[in-house]
A and B are shown apart, each in its own frame.
Chain A
Amino acid sequence: MTTVFAAEPMPLEEKIAKFHELFETKINRNFCLSNGACVHCGLCIESCHYYMATKDPKTTPVYKTDAIRRIYKSRHDWLSRVVPFWTGAARVRTREDLDRLRDIAWGSCTMCRRCTINCPMGIDTALLIRSLRAILYAIGEAPEGVVQVCKDQYEIGNQMGVSDEDYIETIEWLSEEHATDVGDPRAKILLDKKGANVMYVVNPREVKYAPLTLLAAAKIMYAAGEDWTMPRSGWDNTNFGLFAGDDKLGAKMGRALYEKAQQLGVKKVVVSECGHGFRATRWEAPNWAKMDLGFPIESFLETMAAYVRDGRIRLNPACNGVAVTYHDPCNLGRSSGLTEEPRYVLQHCVTNFVEMYPNRADNWCCSGGGGAMSMSEYTGRRLEAAKIKADQLRETGAQIVVTACHNCIDALGDLIKRYKLGMKTATVGELVAKALVLPERPEAAVPVQKPLEKAPGVPVKVLVADDDADTRVFLSAICEDNGAVAVTARNGNEALELARSEKPDIITLDIDMPGKHGGEVYECLKKEDALKNIPVCIVTGQPKLRGLIYDLEVPHPEGYVDKPITEETILLNLRLILNLRQ
C-alpha cells in the first residue's frame, strides 16, 4: 500500500525550497485574486472569533492571509519584486518563518469563512489558508493529530481507524438496538442493500462514540418507511483532505464513497449530520476525484425536512418542551446554504425555539472547525477564542443547543464546560427522534436487553475509576442494576491496584483524578501485559484533556463518553465494548 500521508523528513533548506516550489502550484485565478485584491481595510478583523476573544493583532484574518500574500507578492507583484520593503513582500527563509506560518495555518484559523462572507472585496481567506496548509502538510509541518487522522483515512479508510470487523459488528449490534428502540423486530439497519433509495453515510464518531445519533437516524427513517442501507465500505462521510489541504486524500475518500453508491445502485446518498462531511462529500470531493456523479447527495437535514413536509413522519413537539437554540455549522450554513431546513424541522419538533444572533451565514464558528479538535497543542487558544461563541450561547437562555455537526457538538461541549453555561448539546436528529410519533405496527415480540453478564449467571466485573463520589455511585448503580458487579476506585493509583487485583472485565476511567491522572493510568494499563487487554471506556467531564489519552503511543481506548452521563449512553457504550447484544 502506498502511503502519502507523511512527508519525508528533510533538511530546512530543502524544506523551504520545497515550500516555494509547492506555493507556485497553488496559484490559480481565485488564489491570485484573493492575494491581489486585499487593501488592508481591516473590515474582516471583527469577523474572526480568535481576534474578538483575544484582541491580538496577529489573529486577524488580514494578518493571517498577509503572511501568504507577502510570499505571493515577492514573486508575482511588479512593485514588490523591485522594492519588496514597499509592500512587505518576503520569502520564507528561516525556521522561525515556517513556525509562524505553521501557527497561522493550523493554530489560529478554523477556516470558518466568516471573514470571507464579510469581506467587501471578496477575499476567500479559507482558500488561502487551505492552500498554506496543503503546502505545510506536504513538507511535514502539520500537527501530529492531523497527520494521524489523515494516516487512518489513507490506510484504514476512516478517520477513527475503525476496522471493517468492528464497523460491521457495531452496525449489527445497533440494528438489534434499533429493533428494540422502535419495538419492531423486523426493523433492521441493512448493510449493502442493492438498489435502496438511500445510502446513509456517517461520521466515524457515530460508530465509535455516539451511536445514539445513528440510532436516532435509523428511527427517523424507520418512521418514514424509508428504503435505506448503509455501505460496508466507503461509509465515512468525513474527509480530512479538506482540513489538511490534501486533495489526493480528499479524492480517495470521496471516490470510495461514490464508487460504493454506484456499485449498490442507490438512488441518492444521504450524509449524516456532519458539517465538513457534508461539505466535502457534496461540494468538494467530486472535484478532487474528478467524478461526475449520477446520483444526488443530500444532508440528513434535507431528508428530515422532506419527511416533515411530505407528512412521512409525525412529530409531537411537546416531547421537547425546553428552550432550544440552533447553531449553524460553518460548513453547512456558510459553505452549503443549509440554514432553513434545520429551522423548519426544529419548528416542528420543539415548542420553544430561540434564535441565536447572529445566525445562518453570519453565525460565529463553534471554535472547533477546520480540524481544530484534532490539534491538542492549540486547545488552550481554541477555548479562549470560544468565548465569543459562549457569550452568544449564554445570551439565548436556551437549555439545549442543537447543531447538525459532530465536530460542533464536541467543540460546543468543550466550551459549555469551560464557560459553565449549563447547556446540553444535541443533534437535530436526536430531537426529531425524541418527538417522533411512531406508526402503529402489528404486535411483535420485542427483544429485551441482555444483562451485563459474560455468561448466564456470570456477571461482568466493572471497575469504576472516578474521583467524584456521585459519579462512582451513579455508574456502579447502573452497572449493578443491569447485572454487573462494580468495584470502585477514587484515584489513579487505586484504579491501577484494583485493576491488578480484581482483573475487571472493563474499566470506566475518568481522566482528571488525583494521584496518577487518567492518561497515566491508561498508559500503565496498556503497557502491562496482564492488563492491556482489559477494555477501557473513558468517562470525562473535560474533553480538553483528551490529548492525555489520545496522544499516547498506545492503542486508543475502546470507548469514550462525555459527562454528564446518561444511563442510556453508558449502557450503550458498555454493551458495545463488551459485545453484548439482546
Chain B
Amino acid sequence: MTYDRFVELLENEIQIAALAFMATLYAVKVWRLMQLNPVTDRTPDRGDPDAGARYSLMLVAMPWELASYRSHPIKYAEFVAFHLAIAAAILSTFLIPYAPGLLAIPAVKALLMLLIAAGLVSGVSRLLKRLASPALRAVSTVDDYFSILLLDAYYVLALLAIPDAATHRGSIAVFFGLTAFFLCYVPFSKICHYLLWPFARYYIGKHFGKRGVYPKKAGSARPGRAMAA
C-alpha cells in the first residue's frame, strides 16, 4: 500500500468507522441514561422550569453569572479557547480531505491555526494548573491527565497537519491516526462529558427554575467589584 493510499484510508474509511463507533456508543450511553427514571416533582411551580432550563443551558455563555468564573475570568478564557480549539481541530479533519480548497485560503488557515494554538496554550496551562494545585491533584485520575495530554498532542498535530493539507504529507497520517484513536477513546473517557452536559444542565435548570432560583436574581455580586468565589 502506498503512503497516499494509506493517508486516504485514514482520512476516509477509518475516520468514518471511528465516527460510527463513537456515535454508536454515544447512542447506547444516551439510551441507557433514558432508561433511568428522572427525579420527578409533584409540587406546584414557584418559577418557570422552562425558563430555568434555558438559563441553565445558556450559563456556558454567561460567565458573570457563576461566582467561580467571576473570580477567575482567566479560567473562563481558557475554557473558551480550549473548546474552540477542539471545534477547529475537528473541523480540520473534515476540511483536509473534503474541502482542501478552503484551507488554501490564508485567512481560513490562519484563523484555524490561531484557534488551535490558543487551545494548546490553554491546554498546557490547564495541565500545569492541575499539577500545581493540591486540591486538583487530590481528585485527578490517570484519565484526567491522559485526556488533557491527548488533546494537547492533538492540537500540536493539528497545527503541524494544517499547513500540510495540500500536500497530504508530513504529519497528516499521524494527525488522522490520532483522530481515529481519539474518536474511539472519547466515549470511554471523561472527554465525553459534552454528551452528558446538556442533560445535566437541563435537569438542574428545570429544578432551579421551578423553584424560582433560576434565572438568578440580580444583585448577589458586589456592584463594580470582583467577588470572592
Contacts and interface: CB of A to CB of B under 8 A. Distances in A.
A33 B133 CA distance: 26
B204 to A, nearest CB: 4
B228 A60 contact: no
Given A43-B75, A337-B213, A358-B227, A286 B42 contact: yes
Interface in A44-79: 44-47, 51-52, 57-58, 60, 62-63, 66, 78-79
A118 B43 contact: no
A475 B80 CA distance: 64
A40 B140 contact: yes
B212 A336 contact: yes
A238 interface: no
A407 interface: no
Contact of B190 (A39, A85, A123, A337): A39
A46 B229 contact: yes
B37 interface: yes
Given A122-B201, A361-B213, A42 B141 contact: no
A78 B188 contact: yes
Contacts of B205: 122
B140 to A, nearest CB: 6
Contact of B139 (A30, A66, A122, A124): A66
B108 to A, nearest CB: 30
B200 interface: yes
**Residue of A60, A63, A86, A337 with most chain B CB atoms under a 10 A cut-off:** A337
Given A40-B144, A63-B135, A358 B201 contact: no
Contacts, number: 185
Nearest to B36: A29
A439 interface: no
A127 B204 CA distance: 11
A362 interface: yes
B131 to A, nearest CB: 12
B67 to A, nearest CB: 5
A36 B68 contact: no
B68 A122 contact: no
A542 interface: no
A120 interface: yes
A87 B221 contact: no
A282 interface: yes
Given A29-B36, A120-B68, A362-B67, A63 B139 contact: yes
A335 interface: yes
Given A27-B36, A47-B229, A361-B217, A337 B46 contact: yes
A416 B169 CA distance: 70
A67 to B, nearest CB: 10
Interface in B212-228: 212-213, 216-217, 219-222, 227-228
B26 interface: no
**Residue of A27, A34, A36, A123 with most chain B CB atoms under a 10 A cut-off:** A36
B33 A121 contact: no
Interface string B61-105: 000001111011001000100000000000000000000000000
B197 interface: yes
A80 to B, nearest CB: 9
Contact of A57 (B135, B188, B189): B135
A28 B39 contact: yes
A291 B130 CA distance: 47
Nearest to A83: B142
Contact of B33 (A29, A43, A127): A29
B21 interface: no
Contacts of B201: 121-122
B68 A43 contact: yes
Contact of B38 (A29, A41, A127, A291): A29
A34 B190 contact: no
B41 interface: yes
A39 B66 CA distance: 17
A296 interface: yes
A30 B219 CA distance: 30
A357 B192 CA distance: 36
B60 A120 contact: yes
B68 A58 contact: no
B173 to A, nearest CB: 27
A360 B40 contact: no
B14 interface: no
**Residue of B72, B133, B189, B220 with most chain A CB atoms under a 10 A cut-off:** B220
A118 B72 CA distance: 12
Contacts of A57: 134-135, 137-139
A287 interface: yes
Nearest to B63: A120
B43 A123 contact: no
Nearest to A334: B213
Given A62-B139, A120-B66, A357-B222, A28 B188 contact: no
Contact of A358 (B69, B141, B228): B228
A29 B39 contact: yes
Nearest to A363: B220
A277 B19 CA distance: 51
Interface of B: 33-34, 36-44, 46-47, 56, 59-60, 66-69, 71-72, 75, 79, 130, 133-144, 146, 187-190, 193, 196-197, 199-205, 207-208, 211-213, 216-217, 219-222, 227-229
Interface of A: 27-30, 32-34, 36-47, 51-52, 57-58, 60, 62-63, 66, 78-79, 85-88, 116-124, 127, 282-283, 286-287, 290-293, 296, 334-340, 355, 357-363
27 contacts: A32-B36, A33-B196, A40-B144, A42-B130, A42-B139, A45-B135, A46-B68, A46-B71, A58-B138, A60-B139, A79-B189, A86-B141, A86-B142, A87-B142, A117-B216, A118-B229, A120-B69, A122-B203, A122-B204, A287-B40, A287-B42, A287-B43, A337-B47, A337-B212, A358-B222, A360-B216, A362-B67
Given A40-B144, A282-B43, A361-B216, 14 more contacts: A28-B36, A34-B200, A45-B136, A60-B138, A62-B139, A78-B187, A86-B142, A87-B141, A335-B211, A337-B212, A357-B220, A358-B67, A360-B220, A361-B220
